[in-house]
A and B are shown apart, each in its own frame.
Chain A
Amino acid sequence: MRDRKQIAAEAPTGSTTLKRGKPPASLSPEIQAKLGQQLRAYYAGLIEPTPDRFVELLRKLDKGGNEEPSG
C-alpha cells in the first residue's frame, strides 16, 4: 500500500546516480558517506609497498630463468 510519493520520500535525495529500476538502497547520504569513509580507511591500511618477492619474481622471469612445468 505504498504510493509513489511515499517511496520517493524515502529515497535518498540527490545522492545516487541510479536512474531507473528498483528504488535505491534506503541508506541516508550520511550513512553512505560514513560507510564509504570507513571502507576506504580500511583499504588504505592494506596498501603496502610491493613486497620484494614480487619484484624478484618478475626479475627472474624476465631473465628467462624460470623452469615452467610443461602443461
Chain B
Amino acid sequence: MKVDAGVREAMLAAVPGLRAFAIALCGKIDHADDLVQETLLRALTHIDSFEPGTNMSAWLFTILRNLFRSEYRKRRREVEDGDGRFSASLKSQPGQPSHMEFQEMRSALAKLPPDQREALILVGASGFSYEEAAQICGTAVGTIKSRVNRARTRLAEILAIKDLNEIGPDSTMQAVLSRSDAG
C-alpha cells in the first residue's frame, strides 16, 4: 500500500500522544505498544475513511479506544482482571519515573471504571475538548461531562487530595527539595 507522505507524517506526529493515552488506559507499556501498532495498521487499512484536513490525532485515538474497549470486553469474559493484578503489573515497569505521585496516579486510574477513565484522560490530560472526547468515545457531550465529573470526584477520593490550606507542608517540602537540588 502506498502511504501519502503527509498522512505518514501526521500519523508519526500523533504517536507519542496516542501511546501515552494507551499506557494511561491499560497501564502496561508492552500492551500499549501493541495497541498503537494495531491502531496504525487499521488506520492505514481504512485510510479512505479519513477525511483530509480533519484531526488525525482524534481519528487515531478513536481507533485505539475502540480496540481497547473490545479487548477489554473480551478479556473480562475470560478472566476477571482485578485492581490488584492491574496495579501489580504497573510496579515492575522499567524506565518509568517511580516517584510516589506517579505510582499513585497509575493505580488510582486503574480503579476507575473504563468509561470514566477514558473520558478523564482525554479531557484532563490529552487536551481534547468535551466535543472531541464525545466523538472519540461515540457518546454524547453531556455523558462525557458527567463521566469526567464522576472520575474527578472518585480520583480525588482515592488520592485523598486535600484543600490548599491543608497541603501547606507540601510546598514546604518542595522548597526543601529544590534547595537540596541546587546545593
Contact = CB atoms under 8 A, between A and B. Distances in A.
Contacts of B145: 18
Interface stretch (B61-69, B76-84, B97-105): B97-105
B23 interface: yes
Contact of A35 (B41, B102, B150, B159): B159
17 contacts: A25-B150, A25-B153, A27-B152, A35-B124, A35-B159, A36-B124, A43-B20, A47-B17, A48-B16, A49-B16, A50-B12, A54-B37, A57-B37, A57-B41, A58-B11, A58-B40, A64-B2
Contact of B163 (A30, A55, A57, A64): A30
Interface of A: 18, 21-22, 24-28, 30-32, 34-36, 38-43, 45-51, 53-55, 57-58, 61-62, 64, 66
B37 A42 contact: no
B19 A41 contact: no
Contact of B24 (A18, A34, A46, A62): A46
Given A47-B17, A62-B3, A54 B12 contact: yes
B36 interface: yes
A57 B40 contact: yes
B125 interface: yes
Contacts, number: 105
Contacts of A51: 15, 19, 33
B146 interface: yes
B167 interface: yes
Contact of A58 (B8, B101, B161): B8
Given A34-B161, A42-B101, A42-B105, A58 B153 contact: no
B101 A41 contact: yes
B41 to A, nearest CB: 8
A39 B124 contact: yes
B120 A39 contact: yes
Contacts of A28: 163
B121 interface: yes
Nearest to A18: B145
